[in-house]
Amino acid sequence: MNKGLIHYMKAISLFSGAGGLDIASFMAGIPVAFSIDIEKDCIETLKINEEFHNTTAICGDLSEFSSEQIKGLSGLKENESFIVIGGAPCQPFSKNGYWVTNKIRRGINDPRADLVNQFLRVVTDLSPDGFVFENVESLLHPTNKVIVDSFIEIIQEAGYRYKIVRANSLNYGVPQKRKRLFIIGTKGNFKTEEPLITHGDSEDLLDSHLKPFVSVGEAISEFDNDMYFEKEELTVGGTYHEDLLEVPPGMNYKALTAWAGYPNPKFVADKRFWNFLLKLHPDRPSWTITAQPGPWVGPFHWNSRRLRVPEIAAIQTFPKGYHFFGNRRSIQKQIGNAVPPLMGKAMIEFLKESLDGLPVSKESECIGIK
């Protein structure tokens, strides 16, 4: 890459949700030109946040938009550098796989991979400089091997080098245990073996350059005052309210069993889901924030209440003051389904680094390093 210039590029975001991976792209210095999601509340969320004021945000089914339409709506110029980012849910979405455009291309012959095929369709049609694909870690399970193998074969045929990254959000400054899979593809060359890990277990940090994991108390304590009260947080009068009060911070219902030495046990150990009455400990990271928790599924606040919206957003590392559109259930789903922005930032920076040295677009020639 020419000295004194930066590699200027933009991002196209597919399956954007509430914008976790999109915010990550902004954090990594790559503005998002186009975002699409099928959920109206998600797109309204993007539109009410200032980061997206220059982003074309579309509510719609990706299968109904050609790749050429997507590029046109993004406003990308013919010679402009860009990447594609997205977390396609690997589950049946429609019965007919979408892989037929004006040209017939071979997709993944598995009904669960419909949305994966749509992601690949855009990548192979538009040939971006690189891409970041996010999914659940179980995509690597042997039962899904055909999906991953086919994905890799398709992107290699399209000219991409790739890395498969099994990541835990704890290692990137997120105050939450959350494991995810990323497949990162580049037309450039990876400079390192994996994205930069910044945090580790404090008990294993002797002579280490890593910072200790971020505790949930550090992340959300500022929201524990009456200014942020939400009626949905209350458990008083509920079936297990009194039991929740007795669970110590960092424990679950097993604290009230014979296994824990509890007198007159109320429950039997290992007979409930592990996150039943699960309570945060302020000095430790959070467990995974879920999209659709049951009424007594944690994590609960250590003060025996449900978590507030700004708390779950902070645990996911959305910027403070980020706004979410919709009712409480919709917002929980949006935040719970999101890629933690700090985690996504590490993945996009890893991709961005691999693209250093590729020809810069004409537009970049007037942009100097500050």
Q: What is the CATH number of the domain that holds 62?
A: 3.40.50.150
Spot the catalytic one: 42, 59, 90, 366.
Answer: 90
Same domain, 162 and 201: yes
Half-sphere exposure of 239 (CA within 13 A, CB side): 7
Give the domain extent around 36.
10-205+339-366
User: CATH number, domain at 266?
Assistant: 3.90.120
Reported pTM: 0.90
Give every CB contact of residue 17 below 8 A, 6+ residues apart in sequence. Answer: 37, 39, 42, 87, 334, 337, 338
Same domain, 139 and 64: yes
Known active-site residue 59: no
For the CA atoms of 290, 55, 39, 343, what is the dihedral angle to 10 degrees?
-20
- What pLDDT shows up at residue 5? 36
Q: How far apart are CA 106 and CA 124, in angstroms?
A: 11
- What pLDDT shows up at residue 89? 73
Is residue 4 in some structural domain? no
What does the DSSP 8-state code read for residue 271? S
- What pLDDT shows up at residue 60? 97
Structure tokens given for 197: 């890990």
- What pLDDT shows up at residue 202? 83
Same domain, 309 and 353: no
pLDDT in tens, the chain (370 residues): 333 334 589 999 999 999 999 999 999 999 999 999 999 999 999 999 999 999 999 999 999 999 999 999 999 998 899 999 999 875 532 223 333 333 334 578 877 788 999 999 999 999 999 999 999 998 888 888 889 999 999 999 999 999 999 999 999 999 999 999 999 999 999 999 999 999 999 888 776 889 999 999 999 999 999 999 999 999 999 999 999 999 999 999 999 999 999 999 999 999 999 999 999 999 999 999 999 999 999 999 999 999 999 999 999 999 999 999 999 999 999 999 999 999 999 999 999 999 987 765 544 332 222 2
Same domain, 136 and 194: yes
Same domain, 187 and 54: yes
183 DSSP β-pair partners = 133, 164
Whether 267 and 256 have beta carbons less than 8 Å apart is answered as yes
182 DSSP β-pair partners = 134, 165
How many domains, in total, are found in the chain? 2
Same domain, 91 and 189: yes
Give every CB contact of residue 255 below 8 A, 6+ residues apart in sequence. Answer: 246, 247, 248, 262
3-class secondary structure, 33 = strand
Is residue 210 in some structural domain? no
